[in-house]
Structure 1
Amino acid sequence: MDEQLRLLEMEIEGIINESSENIIVTNSEGIILRAVKNSKEMYGITSEELVGASVKELEQKKIFSPSVTLSVLQQKTPITFMQKTGAGKVIMTRGIPLFNEDNDIIRVISFSHDMTEMEELKEQYEQLQQKMMRYESEIEQLRVRGSVPADVIINSRPMQTVWELVNKVAQSDATVVLQGESGVGKTVFAKALHSGSDRREKPMIEVNCGAIPQNLFESEMFGYEPGAFTGASAKGKVGLIELADQGTLFLDEVGELPLSIQVKLLKVLQEKKITRMGSTKTRTVNFRLVAATNRNLEEMVKSGTFRDDLYYRLNVVPISIPPLRERKEDIHQLTETFLRSFNEKYVSEKTIHPSTLEAFWQHDWPGNVRELENLMERLVVTLEHKMILPEHLPFSPKRELDQVPEVDISASSLQEALEAVEKSWLLRACRNCKSTYEMAEYLGLSQPTVFRRLKKYGINSILNR
C-alpha cells in the first residue's frame, strides 16, 4: 500500500511539473498543498515558498490577484478569469473544485497559462491601429485639403460642396449668409471667406448680434460723438461698422438684430455710409458683409420679426452648413484634430479607442462640432486614463441591435434571407465608411472578407472610390 501511495505521489508530481500549465493545488481552507516547480518565473516566489501559504495572504501581497481559489471556494463552481502576478505576468487562470461524498470541497486545483506575450501583442496592435488611423486621417486631409485652412474639415461630400461654394464666392464682394444649427462652424467659414478674399490684409470685425444689449446696440454698431448721451465717453467711440472699413463685417446670429437696427443696417448696406450718434456728418464705409444665423429668416419675415427688404439684401449667396449628424465622415478627422490640439495645449498623451470612435459615429451630436470640441477638451483635461474608452463618455453609445437595417426577409429559403441581411449590412457600411478597412472594423470582419463579400454581391461603391 505504501509503495502504491509513493508511486501515486510520483505520478502527481510528474504531471504537475511536466505540464505546460502552471498547476496549484489547495485544500478546503485555501492552503497550498502543491505547486509547480517553475513558479518563481510565474509568481515571483518559489514553489517551496508557495506550499503551506494561504492564498488569501498571497492575494493581499499581490503574488496573484485576484485569487481564483478564493472565488471557487465561495461560489463552489469552476471559474476562469485573468490574473496579475508578482512577477509582472498576465495569466489566464481556471479554478476547479473537487468534492467529497458529502458535497464539500476538499481540494481546489487551478490551471494557469501565461498570457503576457499575447497581451503585449494586443497592446502593440492597438497602438499600431491608432497610428494607422491617424496616418490615414492625415493622408485623407492632405488629399482633399489643398488650400483649405487647418480648422476646416471637409472629408464628407456635403462639406466638399460647401467648400467649393465658399471658394467661388470668396473673391467677390457678394453678401453671404451662412445658415446652420448652433455649433456647426459658421464662424470658421466666415473667416475662410475673409482669408480667401482680397480684403484678407484688412480687419474682420465679428459682431455677435445676440450678445449686445438692445439699448447699446446702436452706439456699438454706429459709434457716437463725445457727449452724445449720458454716460458716453468724452472722447466718443468708433462704431463696429466703421472699424470694418476696407475689411469684412461678420454679423453672427443676425436673426437677433432688433427691428430698429435692421432699418439702419439696411440703409448702410444701400448707401455705404454711416452717421455716428450725436453727429450730422456721414462717413463712407466700404466693407464686405458676411452674416450667419441658426434661425429660419424666411419664417421670421413671414412672422414680421425680420424685415423682408433686409432679408433679400442679405440673402445674395446663402450657404447652408450641414449639422454633424449629416456629415459623420468628418467625425474621425475632427476628433483627431481636436485631440492633437488639446494634447499639445495641456501637455497630454491621450489616445482614443476605435470603439469610442464608433460611439461617436452613433451619437447624434445635437451641439454639433462645438459639442465634439468641448467633449474632447473635457476628456483630455479630466480623464486619468491614457486611453479614451466608451465608458468615459457622458452619453451611452447606441446598441447596434437598435440599428439593424430593415430588409425584406420574405425569401424562399433561409439562405436567401441571410444573404439579404448580409447585403443590407454591407450597403450600410458602404454609406458610412471611406474604405474597406473601415468597413471591416465597422462590421467586425477582416478586410479580405469584406472585399470578397462586396464582390459577391456586386457592391462597388467602395471598390471604385
Structure 2
Amino acid sequence: MNNFLKQINNIGTLTLSRRGEVLYSNNLAKKYLYQFEVISNTVLQGGTNFCLNDYPSEINSFSYRDQYVVFIHPMDKLVRLQKEKASLKEVRQELNEVINSSFDGIVISDENGVIIHQNPSYEKITGLSVKDCVGRSLRELEEEGIIDNSATLKALKENKGVTITQKINTGTMVLVSAVPIRNRHGEIKKVVNNVRDLTLLNQLQQEIEQLEKQKKEIDKELKMLKKQKNPKLSIIAQSKSMKEVINRSLRVADIDSSVLIQGASGVGKEKILELIHHNSVRKSHSLIRINCGALPENLLESELFGYESGAFTGANKKGKVGLLEAADKGTVFLDEIGEMPSSLQVKLLRVLQEHKVTRIGGTKETSINIRVVAATHRNLVKLIEEGKFREDLYYRLNVIPIQIPSLKDRREDIIPLIYHFLHVINQKYGIHRRISPEALDMFKYYDWPGNVRELENFVERISLMTATTEIGMEDVRKELQGNDALQTAADKTKIKSPPVKPLKNSLANYESQIIKESLGKHDSIRKTALALEVDQSTLVRKMKRYGIEK
C-alpha cells in the first residue's frame, strides 16, 4: 500500500495509525500540515467524506488493516473560478449601470443587426420602448418605417464606424454614431450606437443665438448709457485723484469757459477732452482737434485760419475754410499748445478775445462761436519765463485748469486699466487672455513713464505675443528685453517657491506616516492590516521597506 501511495502526486495522501499518528504524507499533503490535527480527529471519529472550513479541499478516508488512508482533494481552482465568475458578474452589472445612466441614448446590437440592449434614455429620446426594439432586427425596423435608415447596418456593411442622422416615425430627428466592437481576430461581434437628440440640440442652438443677439443689444444699450447717462463710466478711475479730475471735468462741461488740460504724455488728456465735449451744450456740434506741434508754422496757420483764393502759391483757387471757422458752435481742441509758434499765438489770442477770424489773404472778419480746450505736457509758466509763450494767451487759456496726474501717482488705477484693456483686446482679436496675480504685481511696481498709453500698448503686445491663456511672469520677462526698469519691477515680484519634491518620494513619505499612525492605534499588525484594508503580508513588507518596527 505504501508503495502505491508514493506514486500518487496529483492529490494529497497520508496514512494515520489507529491513534491518529501520521505515518506517511506526500508533498501535497504536507501543505495541509497545520490541518493534520483536525483531519486526524475527524477520521478517528469515523469521518470518511468531509471538507475543511478554513481551506477549500475535500477529504476522503478509509480503513486499511491497522491504519487509515486519507486522500486530500484541493479545490482552490474551483474557488478561483467562482470568484472570477462573481467578479465578471459585478463588472457586467456596473457596466449596465453606466450605460443605463447615460444622458445619451445607447443601443447595442449583435453581429447580425439584432438589438440586444437599449438604455432608458433611448426611449425618452425616440419614444421607442424596449418592447418595440430589443430582440428585433434593425432591418425589420427599416422595412416597417420605424426608422428611415440604420447606422448599425451601415457600420456592418462598411466594416467601420459611421455617424448618420436618423428620423424616427415618432417625429424625432437624432444623430446616431455606430461603433463596431471586435474580437481578438478583428471580427465584429457587437455594434454600440450612441444616440443624441438633434431636436434638443437645435433648440439649444437657437436659444444660444437668441441670447447672443440679446447680449449684443444690451452691450449696445450699455455703451449708450455710459455716454449719455453716466459719463463717469467712460473713463477708468479708481484713485481719488483721478475721480476728482473727472468730477471737475463734468462740472465745467456746461460752462463755456476755456479749459487748459495739463499732464505728462499719455495720461489721457484727450479722454478728458471728450468727456467735457460730450457733456456740454455743444455735444451735437463739431469737435475739431488740432496738434499744434505736428505741422510747420505756415501750414498750421492756413489750417487754423483758412485762406482766400490766391493768398499764396499753391493755394486752392476757391480758397479754404479754416478749422477755427469750421468749428463754429462746436469745440476746438488745441493739443500741444506749448509748441505753437509765437507769431500764431498773437493771432490766436485775438480770436479768443474778439471771437472773430480773418482768413490769410483776406480782409473780411468772420464771427465764430467756439469753445477752446487746450492741452500740453510742457510747463507753460517756465516757457513764459523763457519768452517762448505769451503770458496773456496763457491766462486766456487757463481760465479753468485741469491737471491730470501721472500713472505712477495713481497706482490704484493700474489694475482696473489692465482689465479694461484686456477686455477690449479679447473682443477685438477674439482671444481669451488673463493675467496672473504675480504679473499684476509687477505692473503695479513699474512707474510707467509713458503713462496710460504705454500701459495699453504693453498689455496689447503681451496679450498677442503670449501663446497660453494666462499671462505669467515668464511671459512678461520675454517682453522686457531692453527695458531695465520693467525688469527691476519684475524682480521685485519674483516669488521664491520651495523646491518641488519628486512625487514618488512624497507618496512614500505619506504612506510611511499613515502606517506609523495606524500601528500606534492598534495592538497588533493583523488588526492594523485590517484597519488599512491590506493583506498582513503587504503591511509587513512595507514596514520593512520604511524601517518601521512595531
- Residue 337 of structure 1: which of 420, 425, 434 is its match? 420
1:9-408 alignment, distance < 5 Å: 147-393=230-476, 394=480, 395-396=486-487, 397-400=489-492
In the alignment, is the contact (CA less than 8 A) between 2:267 and 2:406 conserved in 1?
Answer: yes
Displacement after TM superposition at 1:400 (Å) = 4.2
> 2:366 is aligned with what amino acid?
R
Over 3 Å counting, the alpha-carbon distance change for 1:382 and 1:401 in structure 2 is closer
> 1:278 is aligned with what amino acid?
G
Over 3 Å counting, the alpha-carbon distance change for 1:146 and 1:201 in structure 2 is closer
* Residue segments in structure 2 that go unaligned for 5+ positions in a row: 1-224, 481-485, 495-550
Deviations 1:343-379 (A, max 9, x none): 1111111111111111010010000000011111212
Compute the TM-score of the two structures, normalised by the length of structure 1. 0.54
Larger Rg: 2
Show the counterpart of 2:13. none
Deviations 1:208-241 (A, max 9, x none): 1111112211101000112211111122111111
Instruction: Look up the SS of the partner of 1:206 in the other structure.
Output: strand
Identity %: 49
Instruction: Look up the SS of the partner of 1:230 in the other structure.
Output: coil
CA distance in 1, matches of 2:401, 2:334: 14
CA distance in 2, matches of 1:389, 1:237: 54
Show the counterpart of 1:436. none
Displacement after TM superposition at 1:388 (Å) = 1.1
In the alignment, is the contact (CA less than 8 A) between 2:245 and 2:403 conserved in 1?
Answer: yes
Instruction: Look up the SS of the partner of 2:468 in the other structure.
Output: coil
Displacement after TM superposition at 1:150 (Å) = 4.4
Show the counterpart of 2:508. none
CA distance in 2, matches of 1:209, 1:243: 17
Show the counterpart of 1:81. none
Show the counterpart of 1:94. none
> 1:389 is aligned with what amino acid?
G
Compute the TM-score of the two structures, normalised by the length of structure 2. 0.46
Displacement after TM superposition at 1:281 (Å) = 0.8
Deviations 1:31-86 (A, max 9, x none): xxxxxxxxxxxxxxxxxxxxxxxxxxxxxxxxxxxxxxxxxxxxxxxxxxxxxxxx
Instruction: Look up the SS of the partner of 2:231 in the other structure.
Output: coil
* Residue segments in structure 1 that go unaligned for 5+ positions in a row: 1-141, 403-465
Over 3 Å counting, the alpha-carbon distance change for 1:401 and 1:324 in structure 2 is closer
Displacement after TM superposition at 1:261 (Å) = 0.4
Displacement after TM superposition at 1:382 (Å) = 2.3
CA distance in 1, matches of 2:421, 2:440: 13
Displacement after TM superposition at 1:163 (Å) = 1.1
CA distance in 2, matches of 1:238, 1:359: 50
CA distance in 2, matches of 1:390, 1:170: 42
Q: RCO (CA 8 Å, sep 6+): is it higher in 1 or 2?
A: 1
Deviations 1:183-214 (A, max 9, x none): 00000001111011000000100111111112
Displacement after TM superposition at 1:390 (Å) = 2.2
Instruction: Look up the SS of the partner of 1:232 in the other structure.
Output: coil
Displacement after TM superposition at 1:174 (Å) = 1.0
